[in-house]
A and B are shown apart, each in its own frame.
Chain A
């Protein structure tokens, strides 16, 4: 209660400096007059009476300063003074200010830029429900590019059935080019959109829940089923203005109506995980039957059963993959499959990891150099002001105050 009232009073005094100072002046004047008159009554000569009154009062300025410190917010006063002083100094010393601001800005800017990249790729966990159990499956020999890292539909189905390590195995059609669909709205010009074919259990395996609507059903992944499409969040916002009623309606893709069954969440960005830089607008079901004669078209990934280690799964994959049959209808096809299991995070970070860390350290060094440079400048400035500091500390300036200025 008392402390609260005191703080409030101090705050009030802070904003009423002139009035309070005038009152104090009047009070001190009255005090000295009263003392003077009493001394006169005691029979002192006039000059001596006034002198004694002032001596007994002590330093008028000190008394005022003490009273101000006791009534107001001295630290705030000092802070304001220091800020004003800093701004004056910076304004006077343009060259120093510009150089300091420039190199600080450069150092901090470079760090922010690199950190935002590092944060997205290295530090932030993947936007899936169980990223540590998600595994990317590629072939061991990756020299043949994308087509040597993929599997046929029959091999995929066989692996799905025979493996014991994965809770579920899924994949997407690996040979998609951008702008492979044309969306026609009303009578307008067709808009090119990028779509990708994903297996029916793709989003369930990754643990992605739809933002609106639902994911694909098993029926929609069978031949000649009703065509369905899922929209990415960004595409939904951009193309349909975030219209919620689009779910359940048919849109015109490549000249035929396709039903929008749902919208994916904002956190799911296919490109950032599987092919950096790519922007995928829509997802359609990969119908296994239609690709049975097309060879290796699926890029695979899976969700490990809980408790199964990557090493155990890899051991099983080493046994299983060479035995997979690429095509039941084309017995002369040779599979020669291998399987290399890689944690999804490591797959995404991959080759970027080392160069990003180097880059990060480099900009860290830059910031360090910036700091060294600035402190050199400050040191030079301090040396130039050493006379002033000596004088002021001799006059009784506090050490903290000197350092701040």
Chain B
């Protein structure tokens, strides 16, 4: 059970990271985590540390690239940027998520009608 949950979360987090980088441009790990927290409106309580597993995975698949840089307040930080193949993957994954969530929406709606 725990494994299934974790898998879903991982996949979701990867997609969120890709989307964040696509819309915001290069960011460091903290920036990405903060951005996801803000957008989600505190609905998911993200352990910010988990983002690094996601980042290294995306990087190894060649969907994002990484480079050390200097942050706005003069601190050394690793900046991540989405690559061309990352954008392709993002398009594929987001289409999949949209389909899935619309199907889930319909299925759940049907169930509540049956209850009534």
A residues near B (Cβ < 8 Å) are 2, 5-6, 9-10, 13, 23-24, 26-28, 30-31, 33-35, 37-38, 56-60, 62-64, 66-67, 69-71
Contact = CB atoms under 8 A, between A and B. Distances in A.
A298 to B, nearest CB: 78
A20 to B, nearest CB: 8
Contact of A66 (B29, B48, B50): B50
Interface in B16-59: 28-31, 33-34, 47-50, 52-57, 59
Interface residues of B, number: 27
Interface of B: 28-31, 33-34, 47-50, 52-57, 59-62, 71, 73, 75-78, 85
A58 B73 contact: no
Contact of A63 (B52, B61, B85): B52
Residue of B28, B54, B77 with most partner-chain A CB within 10 A: B77
A37 B73 contact: yes
Contact of B75 (A23, A24, A34, A62): A34
Contacts of B56: 67, 70-71
B83 to A, nearest CB: 11
A70 B56 CA distance: 7
Q: Main SS of the interface on chain B?
A: helix
B30 A34 contact: yes
A62 B49 contact: yes
A27 B77 contact: yes
A27 B49 contact: no
Given A2-B62, A5-B61, A71-B60, A34 B50 contact: no
Contacts of B78: 23, 26-27, 30
B29 A27 contact: yes
A30 B52 contact: no
29 contacts: A2-B61, A6-B61, A9-B60, A13-B60, A28-B52, A30-B28, A30-B29, A30-B71, A30-B75, A30-B77, A31-B77, A34-B30, A34-B31, A34-B73, A34-B77, A35-B30, A35-B48, A38-B34, A58-B50, A59-B47, A60-B49, A63-B49, A63-B50, A63-B53, A66-B50, A67-B53, A67-B56, A70-B53, A70-B54
Contacts of A62: 47, 49
Nearest to A35: B30
A6 B64 CA distance: 12
